[in-house]
Amino acid sequence: MVRLQLPQKRGSTSYTAIQAAAIPVVAVLLALLVGAGMILALGANPLEGYRALFVGAFGSRSALADSAVRAMPLLLVAVGICVAFRAKVINIGGEGQIIAGAILSTIVALSVGDLPAVILLPLVLLMGMIGGGIWGAIPGAMKAYLGVNEILSTIMLNIVAVQIMNYLLRDPLIDPEEIERGTRIPQTERLPESADLPILVDGTRLHLGVIVAIIAAVVGWAFLWRTTVGFRVRAVGHSPHAARYAGMSVPRMTMLALSLSGALCGLAGATLVFGSQSHRLITDGSAAGFTGAAGFNGIVAALFGGLHPLWAIPSSFLFGGLLVGANAMQRAIQIPSALVVALNGLVVVFVIASNRLRDDLKKRAANG
Amino acid sequence: MAEFFTASVLVTTFAAGVRLSMPFLLAALGETLGQRSGVLNLGVDGVMLIGAFFAYWTVLETDSRLSGVVAGLLVGLAMGVLYAVVTLVFHAEQGISGIGIFLFGLGMSELLFQELVGTPLPIPALTEAPIPLLSDIPGLGTMLFSHSLLVYAGVVLVVLLTWLINRSTFGLDLRAVGENPEAADSLGVSVIRTRAIAILIGNSLAGVAGAALTIELGTFQNNLTNGIGFIAVALVYFGAWRPFGVLAGSLLYGLVTATVTQLKVLDIVSGAAASLTTTAPAVLTVLALAVIARRSASQPAALTVPFERRH
């Protein structure tokens, strides 16, 4: 048996964790600076805007709760992205996997009816994972055994998932009342109450899904760094040749990574449905209408957290907060909240572009 | 179903399919050039969106569609400069920085649209420019030779890029840089410059693709592309990195989309089932690739691998 070692993190004295953490923070500040320039160019006051943004995101109990709820799907997707990207699989099918999880959990909740919450809640969350897992396993198998590039297949499966959702909500799963009234809004009836994710703090929207997401992050970390399978996933991503030489099955790990990644996105889909205020699955015809683009914003959060599931927790909270605060900013200075989406994009570009700078710093520290 | 298989319906459906495939084609051709040089750009959708907005806004202000296309091209070029700096100077990981470019384009186009325009005012749509004589051929004339100038430009571009990639000196550099940058560098080919040119042309084409889309539709809305740029990237894989392969993929996508639309118009599929048929192009593309992936040409060897000269 050939032994395989992955590079270990070293506690270098001159290259400190502070330096490593400083780069993403600088990237965010840089993006905010560019944003300030844009706000100025559009004739508004950036300081006033950013004040409204941060107060709206983190300034009160209910704001913090809203940010946490908004962060929940981002965190679940981000943990899934950590697993996939660590195996060098580019999963941009988060949107479709979220939807697949939402669909399967909704169908099951509607068909089993009113079971006690202790049974129904875990059941629907599990169904979310299975739905998303299947939607991740398809491109996983196609990549592993047919050689189909996962970028292509995950993009296409996003499109397919949205349209399946649109079909189901317009016909087989539509709320019977919508047909009676003739309004035909594409949504399900109210889902069984025992499947509602319970509210944790009265007077806020903070619900159990947030805890589920944090647990998933811890489990994700333990899987990647404390289990043999997790080690194999990382080994395959780090060097497929070495992994194969050490007797690992690269196709199997690729498929596993994409399935797990999909399962976490599917869990996000289930928590989005059963933690929603309407307690229904509703479509506006587009993917982002249901997911809030969590499939993409989760990638941002994962990267910002250095593809580490535990760092993804604060990172998701930050980006969830920015997305919530964007609405407050729009109200305060009449700059469309889309600005924050653009800034998120810049944060990704800056963080990724500065990775090399970080590596250089590391090298210099290692060389003394 | 019988009413679909009449000559006039088939001819108009085919013509619509050709027209619909153009934004896919233009964006995918640009992406092909970039990928042949070893650079993956997942941000095509974002570049298209921002190009589409500026093209729309320009047409709205100047009433000139040509200026709109030029605006789309210039904005694409500017985004290309950004992407070239990020990938070539900073060696950023390409698959992921593309997601950043996508989000940036998505947010910026919505922001600017709401700030500068607000409501989706119509702009004059593209008019057809039938080719004399050829357009008079029954059937074929409508299918192939009665299109807007953009369609002809797209087809000419396929031929032009095939020549550029396979027959020109620049194409030789391009392929060398995409397959084995170290070898190309040792022979005196500038890897950075070659890749930069490919990125700039590729992003400009994405900008033009956005312009083509907004002008074709005669309006703009948030997230106008609805993923066309991502599909365009997928079509490059489908077309095995060859302009004619990309043309085939784009036509497949456009023709299936047009057929589905026509089936809806004729009420052959209706109601909720119509949304399922909308997935036909995506499903077909994946299935086709599942069948041919192992046999088709492999991707450029240095795709997504940053180049750094070793001393």
- Of the pLDDT bands very low, low, confident and very high (cuts 50, 70, 90), residue B294 is low
Q: Which are the contacts of B125, defined by CB distance < 8 A and separation ≥ 6? A: B215, B216, B217, B218
Query: What are the residues whose beta carbons fall under 8 Å from the beta carbon of A210, sequence distance 6 or more?
Result: A68, A69, A71, A72, A200
What string of DSSP letters covers B24-70? Answer: HHHHHHHHHHHHHTT---TTHHHHHHHHHHHHHHHHHHH--HHHHHH
Q: Is the pLDDT of residue B105 over 60?
A: yes
How far A8 CA sits from the closest chain B CA (Å)? Answer: 22
Query: Of the spans A93-97, A246-250, A337-341, B228-232, which averages the highest pLDDT?
Result: A93-97
Cβ contact (<8 Å) for B97 and A348?
A: yes
pLDDT in tens, B139-192: 777 777 878 888 899 999 999 999 999 999 999 999 999 999 999 999 999 999
Higher pLDDT, B289 or B122: B122
- pLDDT over threshold 90, residue B7: no
Percent of the residues in chain B that have a pLDDT greater than 70, as a whole number: 97
In chain B, which among 37-66 make CB contacts under 8 A with chain A? 42, 46
Residues 6+ apart with CB under 8 A from A312: A75, A78, A79, A82, A217, A301, A302, A305
> pLDDT at residue B308 above 80?
no
CB A73 within 8 A of CB A324: no
pLDDT tens digit string along A268-283? 999 999 999 899 999 8
Considering only CB atoms, B279 lies closest to which of A147, A163, A339, namely A163
pTM of the model: 0.89
Digit-coded pLDDT (tens) for B233-258? 888 888 889 999 999 999 988 998 88
Cross-strand partners of A282:
A187
Q: How far apart are CA A262 and CA A155, in angstroms?
A: 13
Distance CA A222, CA A245 (A): 25
Which chain B residues have a beta carbon less than 8 Å from that of A300? 99-100, 103
Do A160 and B230 count as a contact with CB atoms less than 8 A apart?
no
* A350 CA: distance to closest CA in chain B (Å): 8
Give the length of chain A: 368
Q: In chain B, which residues have their Cβ closer than 8 Å to the Cβ of A297?
A: 103
Report d(CA A308, CA A241) in Å as an integer. Answer: 24
Region A294-308: what's the mean pLDDT? 89
Lookup result for tokens 């811890």: A218
CB < 8 Å from B in window 136-175 of A: 142, 146-149, 151-153, 155-160, 163-164, 166-168, 170-172
Domain boundaries, chain B: 24-119+146-239
Structure-token match 């970028």, residue found: A151
Structure tokens at A241: 């040749």
Query: What is the Rg, in whole angstroms, of the alpha carbon atoms belonging to chain B?
Result: 20
| pLDDT tens by residue, A160-183 | 999 999 999 988 889 988 888 888
CB contact under 8 A, B100 and A300: yes
Topology (CATH level 3) of domain A68-366? ABC transporter involved in vitamin B12 uptake, BtuC (1.10.3470)
Do the chains contact at A148 and B233, CB–CB below 8 Å?
no
Q: Report how far apart the first and last C-alpha atoms of chain A are (Å, whole number).
A: 36
- CA–CA gap between residue A253 and residue A262 (Å, rounded): 14
Q: Which of B5-19, B69-83, B290-304 has the highest mean pLDDT?
A: B69-83
- Interface check for A299 against chain B (CB to CB < 8 A): the answer is yes
Number of cross-chain residue pairs from A and B with Cβ atoms under 8 Å apart = 165
Three-state DSSP class for residue A207: strand
What residue in A sits closest to B306 (Cα-Cα)? A356
What integer pLDDT is reported at residue B205 of this predicted model?
97
Q: Is B139 on the interface with A (CB under 8 A)?
A: no
* Chain B residues whose beta carbon lies within 8 Å of the beta carbon of residue A342: 103-104, 106-108, 111
Provide long-range contacts, Cβ within 8 A and 24+ apart, for A287-290: A287/A95, A287/A96, A287/A99, A287/A158, A287/A161, A287/A162, A288/A95, A288/B223, A290/A98, A290/A99, A290/A102, A290/A165
pLDDT of residue A90 exceeding 80, the answer is yes
Share of chain A above pLDDT 70, in %: 93
Residue of chain B minimizing CA distance to A156: B282
Contact B106 A345 (CB under 8 A): yes
Radius of gyration of chain A (CA): 21
